[in-house]
C-alpha cells in the first residue's frame, strides 16, 4: 500500500464517521413507548450528589531544604622543589607510555619551564631534553650531485614523537592548569618578566604549527662542515623549527596535529568555579 493509498483510505474513514454523526443528529427520534403510570407512592427523599474534585495534597512548608554540599577544595600544591613525585603521578600511564628516563629526571617542572621558554624563543632545548636524544647519525643520499635528507633518518624520531604526544590534549591542559603557579615560579627563576605560562605554551605551539612540510626529498647544501637547507625559506626558520623539520614529514604532521588539538583545548574558556554554600 502506498502512502497516498493510505491517505485516501483514511480520508474515506473520516468522511464516513462524519456522515454517521450528521445522520444521527438529523434522524427523527423513535416513537416513545407509553407505560402505565405506577400507583403513587411516597417519593423518596432526594440526595444531592456533588461531584468531588481531586485536591492536591497540602505542601509541607516546613520541609527542610536540601543540604548544601560544599565542593571539595583543590589538592594543595607542593613546593616547586618537592613537586617531582606529584608531577610523575600525573603523567604516568598515558597511552604509549612515557620514557622511564623522563620520570627519572629531577626538577621536572623546572625542565618543562625551560623547554617552554627556549622553544618559544626559537631555541632548541637540548640541555633539558638530552636524555631523549635520538640514536644514530644524520644520513644523506646523493642524486645527480645534489645531497638530500635520507628518509631513513626520520625513523630515529618516532619514539620521541610517541613520548611527546602520549598525553591527550585534555590531560595536557589539565596538568598545565594544575601546575600553572609552579610553572610560573620556574619561569620567573629563569628571568622571564611577568611569566604567563599559557602565553608561553601557546607561543611554543604556534612555532610548531608554523613549520612548513616540504614535499618529497629535501635538498641540502654544505658550504662548510654542516649541512644547510638549499631552500632559503627553510634555512630562514629558527633553530627550533629546523630541528622539527629534521624529523620528517610524517613525524612533523603528528606533532602538528597534537599541537593543534592542545592549542584548541588551551583556548577553551575556563569553567567557573563551583559555588560555595552560603554562610549560615
Listed residue (163, 179, 165, 145) closest to 75, CA to CA:
179
Please determine, for residue 247, whether its predicted confidence score (pLDDT) is greater than 90. Answer: yes
- For 59-104, write each residue's pLDDT tens digit: 555 656 677 777 777 788 999 999 998 888 877 766 455 556 666 7
Residue 151 vs residues 5, 72, 140, 219: alpha-carbon distances, Å: 68, 53, 8, 12
pLDDT of the residue at 67:
74
Query: pLDDT confidence of 106, banded at 50, 70, 90?
Result: confident
Q: What is the pTM of this model?
A: 0.68
- For 17-50, write each residue's pLDDT tens digit: 333 333 333 334 444 434 444 444 455 556 555 5
pLDDT of the residue at 160:
85
Please tell me the distance from the alpha carbon of residue 124 to that of residue 239, in angstroms, as a whole number.
6
Q: What is the mean pLDDT of residues 130-151?
A: 86
Please tell me the distance from the alpha carbon of residue 265 to that of residue 174, in angstroms, as a whole number.
9
Listed residue (232, 245, 264) closest to 122, CA to CA:
245
Query: pLDDT confidence of 249, banded at 50, 70, 90?
Result: very high
Count, residues in the chain: 280
pLDDT: which is higher, 127 or 52: 127
| Exposed / middle / buried, residue 163 (Cβ in 10 Å: 0-12, 13-18, 19+) | middle
Q: Where are the domains of the chain?
A: 80-266
- For 45-59, write each residue's pLDDT tens digit: 565 555 555 555 555
Residues 95 and 103: beta-carbon distance below 8 Å = no
Say which range, 33-37, 103-107, 217-221, has the weakest mean pLDDT. Answer: 33-37
Residues 259 and 208: beta-carbon distance below 8 Å = yes
Listed residue (22, 179, 1) closest to 87, CA to CA:
179
Residues 127-145 as b/e (b if ≥16 CB within 10 A, e otherwise) read ebbeeeeeeeeeeeeeeee
Amino acid at each position: 500500500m502506498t502512502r497516498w493509498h493510505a491517505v485516501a483510505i483514511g480520508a474515506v474513514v473520516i468522511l464516513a464517521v462524519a456522515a454517521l454523526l450528521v445522520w444521527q443528529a438529523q434522524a427523527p427520534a423513535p416513537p416513545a413507548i407509553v407505560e402505565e403510570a405506577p400507583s403513587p407512592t411516597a417519593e423518596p427523599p432526594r440526595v444531592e450528589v456533588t461531584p468531588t474534585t481531586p485536591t492536591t495534597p497540602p505542601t509541607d512548608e516546613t520541609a527542610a531544604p536540601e543540604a548544601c554540599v560544599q565542593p571539595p577544595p583543590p589538592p594543595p600544591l607542593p613546593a616547586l622543589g618537592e613537586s617531582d613525585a606529584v608531577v610523575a603521578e600525573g603523567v604516568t600511564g598515558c597511552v604509549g607510555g612515557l620514557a622511564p628516563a623522563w620520570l627519572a629526571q629531577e626538577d621536572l617542572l623546572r625542565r618543562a619551564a625551560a623547554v617552554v621558554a627556549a622553544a618559544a624563543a626559537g631555541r632548541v632545548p637540548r640541555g633539558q631534553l638530552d636524555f631523549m636524544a635520538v640514536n644514530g647519525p644524520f644520513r644523506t643520499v646523493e642524486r645527480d650531485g645534489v645531497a638530500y635528507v635520507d628518509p631513513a633518518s626520520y625513523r630515529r624520531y618516532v619514539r620521541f614523537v610517541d613520548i611527546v604526544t602520549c598525553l591527550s590534549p585534555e590531560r595536557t591542559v589539565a596538568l598545565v592548569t594544575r601546575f600553572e603557579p609552579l610553572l610560573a615560579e620556574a619561569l620567573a627563576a629563569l628571568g622571564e618578566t611577568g611569566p604567563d605560562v599559557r602565553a608561553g605554551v601557546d607561543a611554543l605551539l604556534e612555532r610548531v604549527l608554523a613549520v612548513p612540510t616540504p614535499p618529497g626529498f629535501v635538498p641540502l647544501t654544505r658550504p662548510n662542515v654542516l649541512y644547510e637547507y638549499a631552500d632559503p625559506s627553510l634555512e630562514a626558520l629558527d633553530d627550533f623549527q629546523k630541528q622539527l623539520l629534521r624529523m620528517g614529514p610524517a613525524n612533523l604532521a603528528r606533532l602538528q596535529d597534537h599541537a593543534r588539538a592542545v592549542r584548541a583545548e588551551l583556548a577553551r574558556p575556563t569553567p567557573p568555579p563551583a559555588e560555595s554554600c552560603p554562610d549560615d
